[in-house]
Amino acid sequence: MSRRVGRSRLELPGYAPVYSGKVRELYAPIDPSTGQASRDTLLLVATDRISAYDFILDSEIPDKGKVLTQLSLWWFEQLVDIIPNHVISTQVPDAVAGRAVLVQRLDMVPVECIGRAYLTGSGLAEYRQTSSVCGLPLPAGLQDGSLLPSPIFTPTTKAPIGQHDQPMTYAEVTAKVGIAIAASVRDLTIAILERGNEIAADRGILLADTKVEFGLDTSRPDARGNPTIMLADEVLTPDSSRFWPAATWQPGRAQDSYDKQFVRDWLTSASGWDRSSGEAPPALPDDIIEATRSKYVEAYESLTGQTFA
Ligand code: PZK
C-alpha cells in the first residue's frame, strides 16, 4: 500500500513540469526564444520529502534533497571511469539551488537494475520462498543480512507508482532490451555496487544493495553501432541503496537503517500509529526530524570526507 500526497509542485518559471515522483520531480527547460520545452535536457529536482513503510510522510526533512543531490554528484565522479553519466550542469534556479541538476535526456532502459551484495528486503523474501532470487539459485542457510557469495544482479520491472516492482529473470531482461544491453547493464550494475562497497568500506559502511537507472544516448553509437549507455537518475544515495553501519552488522536480524532508523522506530513505537491499519502515518516530531537530518548529513560527510555546507 502506498499513498500519493497531493503536494503542489514547485513553480519554476522557465521550466515545464514533466513528471512528479514520490520524492523527486522532473522538469523540461523552456527555450525562451521558441517557448518550446527542451527535448534534450531535463531538470532533475530532489525534494525534502521522505518515505517510510511505503508512505510518503507529511513531514519533510530539511536539506534532504540537497544532501542526496550532492552525494549523488560525488558518486558520479567516483564512477566516471566505469560509466559516463547524464549530468550536464549544476547551474539551476535559486529556488532549487543545490538540489537539482540539469541532465541529458536519454532513452531510459525500461528495467530497474538492482545489485545486491547482502541479502535482505524483497530479495530475502524471494529466497525464503524459492531458494533463489530473480532465477539465480543461492546456497542454503542464508539469513537476513547475510553476505552473498558474490554480488548478484536482481532486476525488476518498473511498476507504476503505488504498485510494487516485480522480479525479472535475466532471460526476461534480454527479451526486453536485447542481449548486448542486458549484459552491459548487468555488468555495470555489479561494477557500481563493487566500487561503492570498496569506497564505503574505508568509512565503516556496508552497501547492502543498490538500484541504478541507465539511459541510452543514441546520438553516440560506438564502433559496432551500439548506443552509449549512461548512468542516469541519482546514484548510491540512501534513497536508492541500503547503507548499514559495519560495526553493528549481524546477519540473522534486520540491520539498522543508516538514515531512517529514527523515523521507523518512532512510527512503530511512540507514535501510536498502526502500520497495518492502512492509515497515513502521523507527522514527525521536531526531534525526530532533526535527528534524521543529522543522519543524512552524517552519511554524506562519512562517505565523501567533505563537510556538508
Ligand atoms: C527519467 N526518471 C525517473 C527521476 C522523477 C522521475 N536523463 C534522463 N532522461 C530521460 N528520462 C529520465 C532521465 C533521468 N534521470 C528519470 N524518469 C525519466 C525520475 C527523478 C524524478 F520524477
Grid coordinates representing 171?
Answer: 532471460
* Ligand 1 geometric centre to CA of 109 (Å): 11
Residue 152 CA: distances (Å) to CA of 119, 195, 296, 297: 10, 14, 27, 29
* Ligand 1 geometric centre to CA of 112 (Å): 12
Query: Long-range contacts for 214-221 (Cβ within 8 Å, ≥24 apart)?
Result: 214/108, 214/109, 214/113, 214/185, 214/188, 215/86, 215/104, 215/106, 215/107, 215/108, 215/109, 216/106, 216/107, 216/108, 216/109, 216/181, 217/104, 217/106, 218/107
What is the per-residue pLDDT across 6-39, written as a single tens digit (0 to 9) for each? 455 678 999 999 999 889 999 999 999 999 999 9
Closest atom of ligand 1 to CA, residue 232: 15
Closest atom of ligand 1 to CA, residue 86: 7
Ligand 1 atom 16, closest CA: 233
* Ligand 1 geometric centre to CA of 121 (Å): 24
Closest atom of ligand 1 to CA, residue 24: 21
Q: Which of 236, 243, 306 is nearest to 75 (CA)?
A: 236
Kindly tell me the burial class for residue 42, based on how many C-beta atoms sit within 10 Å of its own C-beta (0-12, 13-18, 19 or more): buried
What is the per-residue pLDDT across 265-300, written as a single tens digit (0 to 9) for each? 999 999 999 999 989 999 999 999 999 999 999 999
The share of the chain scoring above pLDDT 70, in percent, equals 97
* Ligand 1 geometric centre to CA of 26 (Å): 6
What is the per-residue pLDDT across 138-166, written as a single tens digit (0 to 9) for each? 999 999 999 999 999 999 998 887 788 89
What is the per-residue pLDDT across 195-214, written as a single tens digit (0 to 9) for each? 999 999 999 999 999 999 99
Pocket of ligand 1 (CB under 6 A): 19-21, 24-26, 42, 44, 86, 103-106, 108, 215, 232-233
* Ligand 1 geometric centre to CA of 116 (Å): 22
